Each structure stands twice: as structure tokens, then as C-alpha cells.
Amino acid sequence: MKHFLVLTLGLILLAAVPAVAHHSFAAEYDSNNLITLTGVISKVEWTNPHIYFYIDVKDESGKVATWSIEGYPPNTLKRTGFVKSDLKIGDTVTVTAYKAKDASNSGAGREVTFADGTKKFAGPEGR
């Protein structure tokens, strides 16, 4: 029981920590709008403070729209096992992402599923 109390206290502390590494999540992305996109990688920007990759997503009518997906910084991703060479132009991936609040075709990447079923962490859970 003591462990549970300590853990609960720890979780309260977690909730109270307000800062972020570089920018606020909530000001840019909608935590309540986690979307799933499947598309072909068309461009990769393995840059700081965030990586971006672009996927061409075809809708039901066959119309193609390009989506920009933001991820964590390169060093952080590398340390979670996600490296630049994982994103190959022309590959099809499925991405879960929190949609941008500015109505653009962009989102904060949560998880990338590659053709072989491998899943890689792209960015934080929405806040």
C-alpha cells in the first residue's frame, strides 16, 4: 500500500511539471484529435529542433494530399531507436498524429508503423 501511495504522489508530481523541451504542445496540436494516416514518404527533414517528414496520402476519391508530420529531435529519436535511415522516400507508412490546430495538413507524430509491421515512437502523447 505504501508503494501505491508513493507512486500516486509521484504521478501527481508528474502532472504538475509544466515545462517542455522546446515548445508547447497544446498551443500547436489538438490532443483530442489523434488521426491515422497512411501514405508514401515524399520528403524527410531530419532537423532540429524537430524532425519533419512528409507523406502523400490518397483519399477515397484518389485525390492526393501531402501531410507534414513533426517528431521529436533527432538525438532523442536516435536514443529511442528511430534513425534517419528508417524513413525512406517512396516507402509507405502508417502514422498516428495529433492534428495541427492551424487547419493545415500537419500533425505531431505519435507512432510510425512501417511496412514490415515495426512500430517506432515519433513523439509524445498529447497534452
Partner 1 sequence: MKTRFAGVVASALALALAVAVISVPSSAQDENNGKGKAKGKGGQKGPSGPVVHKPVPRTPDGKPDLTGTWQSGGVSLTGEAGAPPLHPLPPIDNHPITRQALAYKPEFEAKRKGLTTLDDPTLYCLLPGVPRIQTNPMPLEILETPKEVAILYEAFRAWRRIPINDKLEHPDDLVPTWMGDSVGRWEGDTFVVDTIGFNDKTWIGGVGSIHSEQMHVVERYTLNDDGSMTWEATVEDPVALTKPYKTGAVFRTPIDVRVEEYECIENNPDPGHMKKAAEMGK
Task: List residues binding partner 1 (CB under 8 A).
Answer: 3, 6-7, 9-11, 13-15, 17-24, 26-28, 30, 45, 47-50, 52, 70, 72-73, 75-76, 79-82, 100-104, 106, 111, 119-121, 124-125, 127
Nearer to partner 1, 58 or 84 (CB): 84
* Min dist. Cβ of residue 90 to partner 1 (A): 22
* Min dist. Cβ of residue 91 to partner 1 (A): 18
Exposure of 75 in the CB half-sphere (CA atoms within 13 A): 3
Closest CA to 42 of 24, 66, 59: 66
Exposure of 110 in the CB half-sphere (CA atoms within 13 A): 18
| Single-letter code of the amino acid located at 122 | A
* Min dist. Cβ of residue 98 to partner 1 (A): 12
| Single-letter code of the amino acid located at 16 | A
Nearer to partner 1, 21 or 115 (CB): 21
Nearer to partner 1, 12 or 60 (CB): 12
Alpha-carbon Rg of the chain, whole angstroms?
16
Residue position matching grid coordinates 513523439:
123
